[in-house]
Amino acid sequence: MPDFDVIVLGAGAAGMMAGIEAGKRGRKVLVVDHARDPGEKIRISGGGRCNFTNVNATHTLGRERFLSSNPRFALSALSRYTPDMFIARVKKQGIAYHEKTLGQLFCDGPATQIVSMLTNDLRAAGAAIWTGREVGSIEKTADGFDVMVGDGRVTATSLVVATGGKSIPKMGATGLAYQIARQFGLEVTDTRPALVPLTFEPGALEQLKPLAGVSTNAVVGHGKTQFEEALLFTHRGLSGPAILQISSYWRDGDAISVNLLPGADALEFLRAARKATPKLHIQTVLSDKLPRRLAQLVGELINQPGMIGDLSDKKLMAAAEQVSRWRLKPVGSEGYRTAEVTLGGIDTTGLDAKTMVARQVPGLFFVGEAVDVTGWLGGYNFQWAWASGWAAGQVA
């Protein structure tokens, strides 16, 4: 007889959800984590307020808002476990929350409330939680799986791998899930840091550095993809939600475009200013719409000293181009050290979309960030963790 019905590796968002659901079905569950406490990423998420879901994370928007080599893969789990279902849990616990922007739901109080809700639910479902234990070798047996945990071996019929991706190694990210996937013959797609600040070469950085701390609303684009959100200049380069979002699409060597006047026609604006205030310098005109330091830099880049009234249409068009299609070429990102998620992961072709079980290995499940499904910023990644964990928990 195996020691447990289900062993879940990783007491993060996806692992706890899988453990709760399996436990509720009467399965004897063990959740193992090498961290001292469960749910460490939940605790620090959303600036400590946990952006626990996004009301727009429905399956109908999934193809656009969840990146994957197979954008359809996530839709099944997302349609079966919806944001409303997680919101109902939060409400039942009396956890107060609010919508911040763009459908993003945050706790009013600390994110630890979500961690407590999940650990309480796990215990209520009869699951054992072993933290501070290293996971060693894993073997397939006739009955299921034999896993080295700490100094001892434990066995179970089902194994749910929920050890996340590579982002923030300091917080315990290891890439163990990829290793297990490869051991059992599953493919792993290329991985890269995502939802991450972008960095610049020293020359460009020198130019941007005086703006460190300046934030403005902008449309940041890469190819056909665009996000209108806050853009933040930092000592290392660019950050803020608009940059984190575009970082999931950006590739080495590519440029990004920045429109500093979202919702406005830059040329019309400059033409109107030329008529109304011809004696002003272009920097002064721009400071009406942009933070002063930013207006100054953009003014320098436009490099048209003198009064706006003296600028020809051609020069005004070039200035408008600089303001609304500022091309910037990042050299890299801050990497896994600060990335919120890992793009890529366990190839979905080896997994069943409804249950998250490995097609060729009965009883072996992969859920959460470890899988090649990456959501937009704003609660989408937790919704994927809840939904994929829930899906596995129904059958594991």
DSSP track, 161-191: E----SS-GGGT---HHHHHHHHTT--B---
Q: Where are the alpha helices (DSSP H) in 209-250?
A: 241-247
Residue whose CB is less far from ligand FDA, 41 or 59: 41
Residue 238 beta carbon to ligand FDA: minimum distance, rounded to whole angstroms: 17
Residue whose CB is less far from ligand FDA, 157 or 167: 167
Token duo for residue 311? 């600028």
Residue 205 beta carbon to ligand FDA: minimum distance, rounded to whole angstroms: 23
CA neighbor of 366 nearest in space, from 355, 375, 377, 376: 355
Residue whose CB is less far from ligand FDA, 160 or 290: 160
Residue 367 beta carbon to ligand FDA: minimum distance, rounded to whole angstroms: 7
Question: What phi and psi, each to the nearest 5 degrees, are found at residue 163?
Answer: -90, 15
CA neighbor of 6 nearest in space, from 384, 357, 383, 285: 357
The CA distances from residue 381 to 36, 46, 54, 353, 373, in Å, are: 23, 12, 9, 17, 9
CA neighbor of 257 nearest in space, from 243, 268, 270: 243
Asked whether the beta carbons of 23 and 395 are under 8 A apart, the reply is no
Residue 271 beta carbon to ligand FDA: minimum distance, rounded to whole angstroms: 42
Residue 369 beta carbon to ligand FDA: minimum distance, rounded to whole angstroms: 4
- HSE-CB at 72 with a 13 A cutoff on CA atoms is 2
Strands of the sheet containing 104-107, edge to edge, are: 51-54, 104-107, 97-99
Residue 130 beta carbon to ligand FDA: minimum distance, rounded to whole angstroms: 10
Residue whose CB is less far from ligand FDA, 38 or 350: 38
Residue whose CB is less far from ligand FDA, 144 or 368: 368
Q: Is 204 left (phi over 0), alpha (psi -120 to 50) or beta?
A: alpha
Residue whose CB is less far from ligand FDA, 100 or 293: 100
Query: Which residue's structure tokens are 């994110």?
Result: 111
Residue 162 beta carbon to ligand FDA: minimum distance, rounded to whole angstroms: 5
- Where along the sequence are the contacts to ligand FDA (CB under 6 A)? 9-15, 33-35, 40-41, 44-46, 50-51, 135, 162-164, 167-168, 172-174, 176, 340-341, 368-369, 379-382, 385
Residue whose CB is less far from ligand FDA, 138 or 273: 138
Residue 383 beta carbon to ligand FDA: minimum distance, rounded to whole angstroms: 7
Residues 129 and 203: their CA atoms lie apart, in Å, by 51
The residue sitting closest to ligand FDA, measured at its beta carbon, is 12
Name every residue whose Cβ is closer than 8 Å to that of residue 130 and which is 6 or more positions away in sequence.
30, 31, 32, 33, 149, 150
Residue whose CB is less far from ligand FDA, 258 or 385: 385
